[in-house]
Structure 1
Amino acid sequence: MAVTTPARERTRHEIVRQAMDLFQAKGYNATSLQDIATAAGCSKATVLYHFSGKPAVLAAVLEPAAADLAELIAAADALPQAETQEFAIQRFIDLAVVHRGVIDVLQDVIPVIVEMPEIAGLVADGMRMTRYLAGSDDPLEHDLAKFAVNGLLGECRHPGERTDDELRRLCDIALRRLLRRA
């Protein structure tokens, strides 16, 4: 017997799917709740039934990437310090490639990201990831890690320009050249 998804869950999923598409195509700031509702085939009131506002929709769009990053951070936390930088490099590249569309959306909100409590966990995990990538407590290494992450994320914004394998190779080489080995 086939398992059916309740209508509310299907509607919520469609809202998130359409929001992702719109955020990528138009940008977060240029997308209204009405735009999302229209694309999802529902009313703005229905969107607001499922989400408290546009930042909550954004949080739902980012949730799969946030969950994967939280899992990566938890795994890195359990490793000896000497192993965390290499682990972070390998896994972060994979996450960036898998979630390249989400990264495109995220780049649009970076100037105001600290003002969005709905994605505070993602921001905190991103900062921890940067520390792991730095591989040391040296402030210069932290700045280099931030620079490397911003470059990697910027490169992931253009999904049609490189294959996943090409992007993985580029990001791996770039991170390893910029970040000294701990």
Structure 2
Amino acid sequence: MSRSARPSTREEILAAASRLFAAAGFKGTSLQDIAGAVGCSKAALLYHFDGKDAILAELLAPAVEAFRALDARLAALDDEAVRPAAVEGYVDLVLRFRREVTVLYGDIPELLQRPAFAGVHELTERLREALTGRSRTPQACAAALLVLGGVPVACMEQPDVDAGELREVLVRSAARALDVPGS
């Protein structure tokens, strides 16, 4: 490999941090872990970045910029065109930045390792299996994960909405996403 093709230390730090954050979570990854993965000292890492927050900010910057671009595209659309464009644009955004999304959600697995949550991961896996109708098709698995991830966010983001109303919308939307017969 030519000398110019070798990634810079800064790029190596970002790549290692991305992998480690996705695997162990932001909280579960130390600056020393990142430095060790790169093969540099913690001091060398701190020469390139002010700290872990600065690394995370730089890692997520392209995703945030792409989200802003999507927002601008959607703002220019009329009411009829905005919904399908939002669905496709958001799915494309998340697919393009899978690792960054994993980093954002990365601390969930670490939290589930705490004694208070013993067995929750297994319960979630069984619920996912039930949501797929015990199917292993990629379509069924993706829809189940959509429901598992989306329902909690919808509840968190709308705390003042009547629980009965929200339940009706969530059940109908989840059933439609899962292609449940009769929904």
Shared fold, TM over 0.5: yes
What amino acid does structure 2 have at the position aligned with 1:4?
S
Distance 1:79 1:169, change over 3 A: farther
- Look up the SS of the partner of 1:102 in the other structure: helix
2:16 corresponds, among 15, 18, 40, to: 18
Residue pair 2:22, 2:102 contacting (<8 A) in 1 also: yes
- Look up the SS of the partner of 1:47 in the other structure: helix
Distance 1:13 1:168, change over 3 A: farther
RMSD of the TM alignment (CA)?
3.6
Q: TM-score, normalised by structure 2?
A: 0.55
Show structure 1 runs of 5+ residues with no match.
Answer: 111-154, 156-161
Aligned equivalent of 1:149: none
Higher normalized contact order (CA 8 Å, seq sep 6+, divided by chain length): 1
Q: TM-score, normalised by structure 1?
A: 0.56
Correspondence 1:88 to 2:86 = yes
Show structure 2 runs of 5+ residues with no match.
Answer: 109-127, 129-135, 151-171, 175-183
Correspondence 1:27 to 2:35 = no
What amino acid does structure 2 have at the position aligned with 1:75?
R
Equivalents in 1 of 2:140, 2:87: separation in Å? 14
| Count of paired positions | 125
User: Which has more radius of gyration?
Assistant: 2
Equivalents in 2 of 1:90, 1:79: separation in Å? 14
Equivalents in 2 of 1:91, 1:105: separation in Å? 20
Aligned equivalent of 1:4: 4
Aligned equivalent of 2:100: 102
Equivalents in 1 of 2:74, 2:83: separation in Å? 9
Correspondence 1:170 to 2:165 = no
